[in-house]
């Protein structure tokens, strides 16, 4: 890396006499962490070069270029702040323009079933979010544990158990929005739980034959090539279960050092805008009869229940064991993000009846913030006297005034210049009033669309249908996800616009481009050449050969798809076992575990890609957590598999 020249100051300095001194130029060398990264990168490049140089298979310039471009993409992600989509699309452009990949092959990643499945699942998740359909998951399965360690246990155990028998992808899709909401309530960064969610699904999938498609693919090859009966449903348990237990313990015990802190648990914690908002417990509300704590009203970050108005009685200093009743008016003070959450809790509604007098249906409205200007005609009069709803077609839900606690009903608040209003209105309000002199600023509140609670059973039923169709093989995962997404839109669980906005396009671009890089390694023969080069020095020791087969599979599955990695290594491992005169079954098991145990990159396994965006991760975060996992699973598989399935 070149040394960087930086000016020590933006302006020339002067000596005590006032004469300007020459501008000082200082040389800044890379810090210790950067030097370590560069050293590791150099060793990786050197190691790959040596291994490939020993390969018995000739490799032309397309193969070398594919290797160089792939390594370059990984190093740029590790050493620069460039976006992952920029790096991978640039690498794809190099392979396309150089002729290593033809146009159909280069663009095949954009039509890859795995990539499209991830995109479509965003729409399914949007339907669940817009209806609150994941309340059952978040409340019944996850609960509200105290502390990050207990949260990890409550997450890992059910996900590992479910993934052993159900397809990993829909399990992770079902839990992602619930875990995101859970993190806000527990004040835990999503980056502390999203990687464990993906890893738990991977670990559960390797415990049974149907846990992942890779196991089925390898078992099919095993039966076709050896004319044997294949492996039974639970044949992998003696190998997969110890790996899953060890991996779970590592996540729980080493979380502080392994899991990164990327996204804050709550955004805007230091936001000076603090609102006072009144909500009422509806008739027949599911919250009636529950305590404040059981209703989940004590775990909204940055929001405090200050008082309850119950008929003629005013309750202050609210106990968590206070039981809510129908008609209770609850006064909260807090920041806008948590007020959005409050507005989406089933059984609560704004205390003002003005929201029911707006022309547009509530499902079509969202929340906006507007700052009152000194030229607003309502300055000096109350919200009710100024007939705010009639004048602007919006309802004031809360008023913020420099963090001041505003007493009284919303309609009785007398507006002042600089007051921040939290409004419920049709999104067209933003365009219609953007240039108005009545407000200094108008901005939408993200993710504030009212939830369609009446559609929650439908959304959850669609999710269960998708999982069942994919699990029992009635439809493949892509078709099951497409059907679920279409049903979400048709039944009104979410609009097409909401589903389209929910897709994280940067993640999709990274997936598509990365798949093309893996294809380049495959079609140029680089993957096979690398495998043969590593196996060239295993000798006649079956234990060493087994370790080498696992290592090759594990490395390949991080850059090409897990099924492709298994398909590349399988014939090599079969030939090697036959030349050694040993049982091939432990090699097949090693390929199954190695291809599924893709922990070190977000592109190696579909569930890693799914949590990449919600967790706010960097590309290298998966290496930080995943490399120790890969090494541990490597050692456990090599030690256990030959004892369960002797050579």
pLDDT in tens, 369-418: 888 888 888 888 888 888 888 888 888 888 888 766 676 677 788 888 88
Structural domain ending residue among the three candidates 444, 475, 503? 444
pLDDT top residue among 97 and 575: 97
Q: Is the pLDDT of residue 421 over 50?
A: yes
Q: Are 182 and 135 a contacting pair, CB within 8 Å?
A: no
The stretch 347-361 carries a mean pLDDT of 65
Say whether both 532 and 631 belong to one domain.
yes
Say whether both 546 and 406 belong to one domain.
no
Model confidence over 56-99: pLDDT tens digits?
556 788 888 888 887 787 677 667 767 767 887 888 899 889 88
Say whether both 347 and 216 belong to one domain.
no
Say whether both 111 and 242 belong to one domain.
yes
Say whether both 456 and 440 belong to one domain.
no
Residue carrying the six token digits 């490395």: 555
Model confidence over 274-311: pLDDT tens digits?
677 778 888 888 888 888 877 777 766 667 787 788 87
- Domain count for the chain: 2
Say whether both 440 and 456 belong to one domain.
no
Say whether both 431 and 408 belong to one domain.
yes
- State the pLDDT at residue 637: 93
Q: Are 559 and 526 a contacting pair, CB within 8 Å?
A: no
Tokens for 390? 């009639």
Say whether both 184 and 309 belong to one domain.
no
Tokens for 477? 């995962």
Structural domain ending residue among the three candidates 428, 444, 460? 444
Say whether both 151 and 180 belong to one domain.
yes
The stretch 220-245 carries a mean pLDDT of 81
Tokens for 27? 């040389």
Residues linked to residue 7 through DSSP beta bridges, in sequence order: 25
Domain that holds residue 341: 275-444
Q: Is the pLDDT of residue 607 over 70?
A: yes
Say whether both 280 and 134 belong to one domain.
no
CATH code: domain of residue 381: 3.30.70.1450
Residues linked to residue 330 through DSSP beta bridges, in sequence order: 279, 308
pTM of the prediction? 0.57
The stretch 181-205 carries a mean pLDDT of 84
Say whether both 64 and 25 belong to one domain.
yes
Structural domain ending residue among the three candidates 444, 463, 486? 444
Say whether both 624 and 597 belong to one domain.
yes
How much is the mean pLDDT over the chain?
A: 75
Residues 6+ apart with CB under 8 A from 92: 101, 106, 109, 513, 516, 517
Query: How far out from the chain centre does Cα 29 lie?
Result: 35
């Amino acid at each position: 890396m070149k040394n960087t020249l930086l000016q020590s100051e933006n302006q020339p300095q002067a000596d005590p006499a006032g004469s300007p001194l020459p501008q000082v130029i200082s040389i800044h060398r890379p810090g210790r962490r950067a030097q370590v990264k560069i050293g590791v990168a150099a060793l990786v490049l050197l190691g790959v070069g040596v291994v490939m140089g020993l390969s018995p298979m000739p490799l032309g310039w397309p193969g070398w270029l594919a290797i160089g471009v792939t390594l370059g993409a990984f190093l740029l992600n590790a050493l620069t702040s460039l976006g992952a989509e920029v790096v991978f699309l640039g690498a794809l452009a190099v392979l396309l323009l150089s002729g290593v990949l033809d146009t159909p092959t280069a663009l095949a990643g954009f039509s890859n079933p795995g990539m499209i499945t991830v995109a479509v699942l965003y729409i399914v998740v949007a339907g669940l979010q817009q209806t609150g359909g994941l309340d059952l998951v978040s409340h019944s399965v996850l609960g509200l544990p105290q502390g990050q360690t207990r949260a990890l246990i409550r997450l890992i155990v059910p996900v590992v158990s479910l993934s052993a028998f159900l397809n990993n992808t829909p399990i992770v899709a079902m839990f992602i929005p619930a875990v995101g909401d859970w993190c806000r309530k527990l004040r835990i960064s999503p980056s502390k739980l999203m990687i464990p969610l993906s890893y738990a699904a991977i670990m559960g999938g390797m415990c049974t034959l149907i846990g992942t498609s890779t196991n089925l693919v390898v078992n099919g090859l095993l039966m076709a090539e050896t004319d044997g009966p294949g492996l039974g449903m639970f044949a992998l348990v003696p190998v997969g279960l110890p790996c899953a237990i060890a991996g779970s313990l590592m996540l729980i015990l080493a979380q502080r050092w392994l899991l990164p802190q990327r996204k804050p648990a709550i955004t805007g914690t230091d936001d000076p805008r603090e609102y006072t908002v009144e909500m009422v417990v509806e008739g027949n509300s599911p919250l009636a009869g529950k305590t404040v704590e059981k209703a989940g009203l004590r775990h909204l970050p940055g929001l405090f229940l200050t008082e309850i108005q119950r008929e003629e009685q005013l309750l202050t200093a609210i106990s968590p064991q206070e039981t809510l009743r129908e008609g209770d008016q609850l006064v909260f003070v807090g920041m806008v993000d948590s007020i959005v959450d409050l507005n989406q809790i089933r059984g609560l509604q704004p205390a003002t009846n003005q929201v029911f007098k707006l022309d547009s249906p509530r499902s079509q409205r969202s929340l906006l913030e507007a700052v009152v200007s000194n030229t607003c005609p309502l300055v000096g009069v109350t919200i009710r006297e100024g007939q705010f709803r009639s004048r602007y077609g919006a309802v004031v839900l809360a008023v913020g005034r420099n963090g001041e606690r505003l007493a009284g009903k919303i309609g009785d608040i007398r507006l002042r210049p600089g007051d921040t209003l939290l409004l419920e209105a049709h999104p067209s309000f933003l365009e219609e009033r953007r240039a108005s002199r009545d407000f200094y600023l108008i901005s939408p509140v993200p993710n504030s669309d009212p939830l369609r609670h009446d559609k929650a059973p439908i959304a959850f039923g669609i999710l269960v249908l998708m999982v069942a169709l994919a699990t029992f093989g009635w439809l493949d995962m892509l078709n099951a996800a497409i059907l679920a997404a279409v049903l979400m839109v048709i039944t009104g669980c979410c609009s097409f616009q909401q589903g389209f906005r929910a897709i994280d396009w940067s993640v999709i671009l990274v997936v598509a481009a990365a798949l093309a890089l893996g294809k380049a390694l495959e079609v140029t023969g680089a993957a096979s050449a690398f495998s043969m080069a590593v196996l060239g020095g295993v000798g006649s020791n079956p234990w060493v050969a087994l370790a080498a087969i696992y290592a090759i599979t594990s490395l390949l599955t991080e850059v090409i798809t897990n099924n492709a990695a298994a398909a590349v290594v399988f014939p090599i491992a079969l030939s090697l076992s036959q030349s050694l005169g040993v049982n091939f079954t432990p090699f097949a098991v090693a390929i199954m575990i190695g291809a599924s145990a893709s922990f070190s990159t977000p592109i190696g396994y579909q569930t890693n890609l799914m949590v990449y965006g919600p967790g706010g991760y960097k590309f290298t975060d998966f290496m930080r957590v995943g490399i120790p996992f890969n090494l541990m699973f490597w050692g456990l598989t090599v030690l256990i598999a030959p004892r369960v399935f002797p050579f």
